[in-house]
């Protein structure tokens, strides 16, 4: 069902510039399938063994209600499975969450917390019910927690799924021993991007506990995740104001939060205001950096320039006292609202939208307790390369010295939000900066799969879904990261609209 068509004469030209745009956002794709064979146009390397599993919105409403924001679309899971003999299979399935099943049964959007409003808007009572039922639509990311496949959003709650069949198994609200999550705290928020703890199979994440009593400060808890259910407290500290947090960095010894001055007013949310209207960016306030020693739990707080970020890229320790940390940054938090349907589906608005991503490197001097931000020079050969977001790296280089970042750029021509490309940023030598794009094709986040026989950081393949707007069909693209030239592609049986994150899980097929 097409929920958002903008039919005015003056739009015909714009639609032609962005063919198939309405298939990228806002068109429901209800089709599901299990292990359907795929045909690639060129041979797939046989060393690729495992599955690319991904998560994102694919149904933008139910019955008479539509979502106002892409972020609220019902979660759908995809997998591209490679048994390692050159064959490949595709599966896709909606997450059978409580909110999705209830919505299906009443043929309307059930009352669960959404980021943004519905069209037509919720009544006050529906909004109150939504707050009471909380966040349930885990449409952002997917992880393998020591054999438990889980799906996440920026909530503490998660769902466990079966990564082979994409079936939904159960919801999960893990407790953390020795952490008070009761009154006066509301402990609902976490990050959608946990990070592997260096040298282990565990992941690190944060619990955000917002205090609802003015005299009690809110607190952060750094948590070790051993499985979907087993959690350990590593450190806990108080904060004056609770920032919105989507990701963070991990080095060998430290977990690092960039607490941008984009604050969540939890009381406003609990009293029925939409999250999108309860988060405020303070232009004149500094960013606080919390550097948590994973071994000792000691927290060092250093102030740095006002900045906003959704996605950390990687960080590593240069020497005993120096950390380098790379993030996809923005001058403020306006990017958090670009996925509103009224913006993303209106080319005048989305092109005019203040959109200024820029890759930033923070040098953290632990001894002097000083942070120096660094921006990268414009490379005239690939002028848009520093505008990447939704970054991916070779995960073997996580928390280590590395050179290459891959990521989509959404405004590659600096003019039209919709001029997509996928770039390779070479942090070590700008001659290595590369970009791939095709007119009318919309590449999404990539994943780097290392060649088991490789030795260089970019020995492997980059896999990513692309919507071919000209043919109105999606495909999986396998790129050679050394050249960013296509190796093979395979159209999927039906479209995989814009979705957020995922990963390649080895030996899963
Ligand atoms: C996808 O679903 C639509 C609507 O039910 C149907 O018309 C179409 O044939 C399906 N496509 C495939 C490839 O199954
Ligand atoms: C790795 O290289 C060796 C020697 O060239 C070869 O025998 C082996 O099949 C390769 N393995 C993979 C997974 O490509
Ligand atoms: C590869 O392996 C899969 C799963 O075992 C099998 O279904 C498929 O037929 C095999 N393909 C080839 C070309 O042998
Ligand atoms: C998930 O991770 C564990 C190690 O933490 C590993 O043993 C397992 O093979 C991985 N894959 C799947 C599909 O569970
Ligand atoms: C698109 O946005 C522009 C600028 O805000 C506005 O003038 C126009 O009416 C919008 N078009 C539609 C169809 O909503
Ligand atoms: C950067 O790469 C180019 C081309 O591969 C090479 O000629 C040059 O020596 C490299 N520079 C550095 C500083 O490594
Ligand atoms: C992006 O814009 C440039 C300059 O107008 C154009 O040449 C290119 O084809 C566009 N790319 C895409 C993917 O639309
Ligand atoms: Fe994200």
Return the ligand 6 atom nearest residue 429 CA. 1
- Say if ligand 5 is within 6 A of residue 6 CB: yes
Q: Ligand 4: which of 196, 505, 506 to mutate, most ligand atoms within 8 Å of CB?
A: 505
Instruction: Please state the domain count of the chain.
Output: 1
How far is Cα 230 from Cα 456, in angstroms, rounded to an integer? Answer: 36
- Going from the Cα of 95 to the center of ligand 3, the distance in angstroms, rounded, reads 27
- Say if ligand 6 is within 6 A of residue 39 CB: no
How far is Cα 494 from Cα 29, in angstroms, rounded to an integer? Answer: 8
- Say if ligand 1 is within 6 A of residue 277 CB: no
- Say if ligand 1 is within 6 A of residue 493 CB: yes
**Whether 426 contacts 398, CB under 8 Å:** no
Ligand closest to 39 (CA) is 3
Cβ < 6 A, ligand 4 pocket: 144, 146-147, 163, 201, 505, 507-508
Q: Check residue 2 and give its pLDDT.
A: 65
Find the helix or strand (DSSP H, E) in which 17 lies: helix 12-17
Residues 221/222/226/227 CA torsion (nearest 10 deg): 50
Counts of helices then strands in the chain (DSSP H, E): 7, 35
- Domain containing residue 260: 21-506
Alpha helices in 195-264 (DSSP H): none
Question: How open is the CA angle 91-161-100, to the nearest 5 degrees?
Answer: 85
Q: Ligand 5: which of 10, 346, 351, 418 to mutate, most ligand atoms within 8 Å of CB?
A: 346
CA-nearest residue for atom 4, ligand 3, is 83
Residue 239 lies in a domain: yes
Beta-carbon contacts of residue 101 (< 8 Å; ≥ 6 apart): none
Q: Check residue 16 and give its pLDDT.
A: 53
Residue 15 lies in a domain: no
- Going from the Cα of 147 to the center of ligand 4, the distance in angstroms, rounded, reads 4
* Two structure tokens written together for 218: 């809110």
* Two structure tokens written together for 450: 């290392």
Q: Check residue 4 and give its pLDDT.
A: 63
How far is Cα 408 from Cα 389, in angstroms, rounded to an integer? Answer: 6
CATH number at residue 362: 2.130.10
Return the ligand 5 atom nearest residue 8 CA. 13
Residue 11 lies in a domain: no
Residue 405 lies in a domain: yes
- Say if ligand 1 is within 6 A of residue 36 CB: no
* Two structure tokens written together for 498: 């814009």
How far is Cα 173 from Cα 301, in angstroms, rounded to an integer? Answer: 30
How far is Cα 88 from Cα 43, in angstroms, rounded to an integer? Answer: 11
End-to-end CA distance of the chain: 31
Closest CA to 51 of 172, 139, 161, 154: 161
Residue 10 lies in a domain: no
* Two structure tokens written together for 423: 């770039």
Return the ligand 1 atom nearest residue 493 CA. 13
Residue 12 lies in a domain: no
Contacts made by residues 210-218, CB under 8 angstroms, sequence distance 24+: 210/185, 210/186, 210/242, 210/264, 210/266, 211/184, 211/185, 211/186, 212/183, 212/184, 212/185, 212/186, 212/266, 212/267, 212/270, 213/184, 216/184, 218/185, 218/242
- Going from the Cα of 329 to the center of ligand 5, the distance in angstroms, rounded, reads 28
Q: For residue 484, how many other CB atoms are within 10 A of its CB?
A: 20
CA-nearest residue for atom 10, ligand 2, is 453
Closest CA to 180 of 214, 207, 152, 215: 207
Cβ < 6 A, ligand 2 pocket: 47, 452-453
Ligand closest to 427 (CA) is 6
Taking the model in full, what pTM does it have? 0.96
- Going from the Cα of 52 to the center of ligand 4, the distance in angstroms, rounded, reads 14
Beta strands of 38-138 (E only): which ranges?
50-59, 61-62, 65-67, 74-82, 89-94, 118-119
pLDDT by 10s per residue, the chain, length 509: 666 654 433 343 444 578 999 999 989 999 999 999 999 999 999 999 999 999 999 999 999 999 999 999 999 999 999 999 999 999 999 999 999 999 999 999 999 999 999 999 999 999 999 999 999 999 999 999 999 999 999 999 999 999 999 999 999 999 999 999 999 999 999 999 999 999 999 999 999 999 999 999 999 999 999 999 999 999 999 999 999 999 999 999 999 999 999 999 989 999 989 999 999 999 999 999 999 999 999 999 999 999 999 999 999 999 999 999 999 999 999 998 999 999 999 999 999 999 999 999 999 999 999 999 999 999 999 999 999 999 999 999 999 999 999 999 999 999 999 999 999 999 999 999 999 999 999 999 999 999 999 999 999 999 999 999 999 999 999 999 999 999 999 999 999 999 999 999 998 88
Residue 5 lies in a domain: no
- Say if ligand 6 is within 6 A of residue 8 CB: no
Return the ligand 4 atom nearest residue 506 CA. 11
Burial (0-12, 13-18, 19+ Cβ within 10 Å), 455: exposed
Ligand closest to 27 (CA) is 1
């Amino acid at each position: 069902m097409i929920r958002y068509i903008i039919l005015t004469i003056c739009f015909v030209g714009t639609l032609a510039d962005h063919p198939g745009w309405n298939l990228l956002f806002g068109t429901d794709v209800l089709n599901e399938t299990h292990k359907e064979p795929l045909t690639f146009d060129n041979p797939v390397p046989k060393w690729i063994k495992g599955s690319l599993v991904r998560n994102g919105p694919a149904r933008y409403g139910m019955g008479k209600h539509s979502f106002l924001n892409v972020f609220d679309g019902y979660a759908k899971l995809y997998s591209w499975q490679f048994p390692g003999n050159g064959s490949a299979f595709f599966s896709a399935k909606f997450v059978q969450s409580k909110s999705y099943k209830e919505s299906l049964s009443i043929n309307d959007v059930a009352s669960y917390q959404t980021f943004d409003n519905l069209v037509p808007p919720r009544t006050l009572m529906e909004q109150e019910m939504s707050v009471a039922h909380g966040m349930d639509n885990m449409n952002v990311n997917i992880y393998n927690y020591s054999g438990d496949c889980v799906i996440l959003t920026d909530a503490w709650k998660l769902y466990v799924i079966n990564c082979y069949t994409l079936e939904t198994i159960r919801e999960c609200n893990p407790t953390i021993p020795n952490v008070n999550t009761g009154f006066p705290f509301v402990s609902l928020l976490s990050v959608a991007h946990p990070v592997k703890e260096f040298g282990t199979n565990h992941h690190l994440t944060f619990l955000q506990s917002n205090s609802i009593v003015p005299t009690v400060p809110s607190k952060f808890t750094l948590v070790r995740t051993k499985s979907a259910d087993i959690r350990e407290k590593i450190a806990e500290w108080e904060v004056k104001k609770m920032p919105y947090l989507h990701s963070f960095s991990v080095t060998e010894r430290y977990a690092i939060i960039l607490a941008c001055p984009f604050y969540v007013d939890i009381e406003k949310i609990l009293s029925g205001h939409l999250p999108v209207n309860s988060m405020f960016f303070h232009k004149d306030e500094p960013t606080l950096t919390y550097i948590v020693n994973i071994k000792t739990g000691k927290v060092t707080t250093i102030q740095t320039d006002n900045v906003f970020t959704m996605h950390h890229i990687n960080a590593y320790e240069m020497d005993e006292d120096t950390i380098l940390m790379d993030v996809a940054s923005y001058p403020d938090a306006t990017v958090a609202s670009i996925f509103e349907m009224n913006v993303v589906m209106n080319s005048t608005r989305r092109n005019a939208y203040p959109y200024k991503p820029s890759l930033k490197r923070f040098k953290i001097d632990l001894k002097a307790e000083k942070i120096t931000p660094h921006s990268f020079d414009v490379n005239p050969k690939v002028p848009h390369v520093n505008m990447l977001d939704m970054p991916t790296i070779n995960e073997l280089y996580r928390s280590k010295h590395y050179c290459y970042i891959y990521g989509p750029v959404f405004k590659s021509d600096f003019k039209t939000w919709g001029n997509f490309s996928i770039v390779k940023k070479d942090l070590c030598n700008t001659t290595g900066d590369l970009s791939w794009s095709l007119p009318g094709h919309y590449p999404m986040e990539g994943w780097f799969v290392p060649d088991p026989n490789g030795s260089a950081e970019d020995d492997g393949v980059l896999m990513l879904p692309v919507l071919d707007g000209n043919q109105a069909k999606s495909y999986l693209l396998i790129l050679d990261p050394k050249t960013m030239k296509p190796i093979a592609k395979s159209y999927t049986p039906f479209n995989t609209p814009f979705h957020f994150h995922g990963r390649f899980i080895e030996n899963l097929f």
